[in-house]
Amino acid sequence: MYLTRFKYIPLIGTIGNYKKEYFSKDLIAALTVAVVVIPQSMAYALIAGVNPVYGLYTAIVSTMIASAFGSSNHIIAGPTNAIALLVASSLGSYMGQDNVYSMLFLMTFMVGVLQILFGVIKLGKVINFVSHSVVIGFTAGAGVLIGLGQLSTLLSISIKDSSHMSTMQKFYYVMTHLNETNYYALGLGVMTMAIIITCKKINNKLPGALIGIIIPIIFIVMFSLDQKGVKLTGFIPSSLPPFKMIQFDVSVMQNLFGGAIAIAIIGLVEAIAIAKSIATTSRQKIDANQEFIAQGLANAGASFFQCFAGSGSFTRSAINYQSGAVTRIAGILSGVIVALVLLFFAPYAKYIPNPCLAGVILVIAYNMVDKKEIMHIVKAGKFKSDSLAMWATCIATIVMPHLDVAIYTGIALSIALYLKDTNKAPMKLLLPSQGNNGQIIEKEVRSIKQKLDILIVQLEGNLFFGSAEDLQNKLDDLVDKSKVFILRMKYVATIDLTALGALKVFIRTVKESGGIVIFSGVKSEFNTLLSNSHVTSDIGEENIFMSENEIFASSTNALERARNVLGCEVMGNDEKSAACILLESETTSNLGTSVKSKSTASF
């Protein structure tokens, strides 16, 4: 690879390996993304509760920085709907204050620093604790909130002190003041939504959002609808994002910390999910920790240019990849194009009607509810952990006054449900049975109704302190069900001292009742643990059969040991139990095959 020592600055490697034929593809993709990002970023700024120009600033700076440092060649960062809603929730109680924008940029910086920290200490795998179901639930709930929050703009119903009201309070106000609806505004908003939906049906590549804003502008100018109560975006400065120093305030940082963590986590979840999704077809290797750092640098750096927090965008990243982008240069070029539009065409933006932006947002909000994925999760089980976590997060997102609390609720619930599912000790009960070819086969049974000579207990998965109690209870129920217990350990991945303690209690209880426990399929890495925890001395070294390469070899040796324990050799033919007859058939079938010693026996 070129300049591998610059692996933390992937842009250098991209430039070093860049080919001329890449540029035209990257430029076309960048132009396509820019057409989409301009109306989207302005709409997302309104969701965040700030002037649309800050959405454009974010679409310029965040996109360029994230593209330069990210591990994905195709992800497009910048303002997103979910993050914008979290920003609005975190700053909702401060709206109207003189220093609210200073707080906004400070929080953006805090989000960036947290994300960089997560990447530096390599917490990429920790993001897996935020389950897919939680993200689906939050996104769906956020879509509902976003849609409800835009109704007042769509209907042009003015709400006094709306900055201090929750979304549900605004919705209630709108529903009780429908008689104040401005039908010109409603018509323009519906027109925008109809254009977007029609363009999507005709061709997905058509810039429906942009067309849906430009056409209504014609009606605004022709019929002077701004004089009939239709509110316009207003003045947008024709300049590049200005540099402004962050105003650090410890007390303000303490107040914003909870929201910053929630935004940082959801932002990283979005970015990694998008990067991995595209990587499944692009075959690019994604480094989660590098993506953490890239998103953090994008937010921290953008905070000095009057930007609010952003993340990877599902829509824009998909468009970028589908439009033929080859390298990360496409993302950087899209930021440059948005900057040029802002620099030369900003004066015309003042004619954009707010109801049309609300129409764009409503379509986006509707698409945020992933109906197919929700049905997939529900069909997997209405009362399964994934379904419960999804619905709880969705409802909490809609109902709770602070979205960061909803995020933490969903994460906590998914972890709690995961722990509930993992505190079970997987166990199968197997009975030796005669096969058609004379070999012994094992038949799984659900319950044991009478005492048996031999019972094979197959343990599986991770046996740790969380599942030790369940393991102990299951083993206690088996104590009087057999004389000889063969505990097959082949499928045990890990085992800790607490779980070993449960096995030791079982071994001693079986011994006291006149039975015996035999271990088969013990992995070599468990041998020292068994010795140091005195399990070997409790069970007897002659009753432990180590794992072998030959399938079921250790189980066969364990059954031979069970034959000896049952005294099958000294019994007369009339005295032999069914178990002895079965075991002898196994011995007979193996005549001519060398008998392996216990020390070399394999599973």
357 neighbors 104 (Cβ within 8 angstroms): no
Q: How far apart are CA 569 and CA 592, in angstroms?
A: 19
Give the DSSP letter string of 289-324: HHHHHHHHHHHHHHGGGT----EE-HHHHHHHHHTT
Q: Tell me, what amino acid is at 549? A: N
| Cα–Cα distance list, 336 to 28, 327, 413 (Å) | 13, 15, 42
Confidence of residue 586 (pLDDT cuts 50, 70, 90): low
Give me the mean pLDDT over the 383-390 stretch: 81
Half-sphere CA count of 377, side-chain side, radius 13 A: 21
Confidence of residue 117 (pLDDT cuts 50, 70, 90): very high
DSSP symbol at 446: S
The domain spans of the chain are 4-413, 427-589
Q: Which is more confidently placed, 111 or 532?
A: 111
173 neighbors 159 (Cβ within 8 angstroms): yes
Q: How far apart are CA 5 and CA 234, in angstroms?
A: 48
User: What is the structure's pLDDT at 399?
Assistant: 84
Maximum distance among all Cα pairs of the chain, rounded to whole angstroms: 110
Q: How far apart are CA 424 and CA 404, in angstroms?
A: 32
> For 463-489, what is each residue's pLDDT tens digit?
888 888 889 998 998 888 888 999 999
Q: How far apart are CA 393 and CA 207, in angstroms?
A: 33
Q: Tell me, what amino acid is at 359? A: G
User: What is the structure's pLDDT at 1?
Assistant: 40
Give the DSSP letter string of 490-549: EEEEEE-HHHHHHHHHHHHHHHHTT-EEEEEEE-HHHHHHHHHTTHHHHH-GGGEEE--S
Q: Which is more confidently placed, 294 or 35?
A: 294
Provide the token pair at 248.
């650090």
Q: Which is more confidently placed, 548 or 368?
A: 368
User: What is the structure's pLDDT at 443?
Assistant: 63
**Long-range contacts from 473-476, C-beta under 8 angstroms, 24+ separation:** 474/425, 474/427, 475/502, 475/503, 475/505, 475/506, 476/506, 476/509
Q: How far apart are CA 114 and CA 121, in angstroms?
A: 11
Which of 150, 51, 77, 47 has the alpha carbon at shortest distance from 349? 51
> For 301-345, what is each residue's pLDDT tens digit?
999 999 999 998 877 888 788 778 899 999 999 999 999 989 988
Answer whether residue 300 shows pLDDT above 50. Answer: yes
| Cα–Cα distance list, 401 to 89, 379, 396, 451 (Å) | 8, 30, 9, 60
User: What is the structure's pLDDT at 591?
Assistant: 39
Secondary structure (3-state) at 459: strand
393, containing H or E segment: helix 385-399
Q: Which residue has the tokens 């044991």?
A: 448
> For 166-184, what is each residue's pLDDT tens digit?
788 889 999 999 999 999 9
Give the DSSP letter string of 192-250: HHHHHHHHHHH-TTS-HHHHHHHHHHHHHHHHTGGGGT--B------SPPPP------H
Lowest mean pLDDT, pick from 137-141, 305-309, 329-333, 575-579: 575-579
Q: How far is CA 328 from the centre of its chain?
A: 24
Handedness of CA 60, 62, 64, 65 (dihedral sign): positive
Alpha helices in 70-99 (DSSP H): 81-91
Note the pTM of the prediction, 2 decimals: 0.69
Q: Which is more confidently placed, 523 or 409?
A: 523
Class of domain 427-589: alpha beta
Contacts (Cβ under 8 Å, ≥6 apart) of 436:
none
266 neighbors 312 (Cβ within 8 angstroms): no
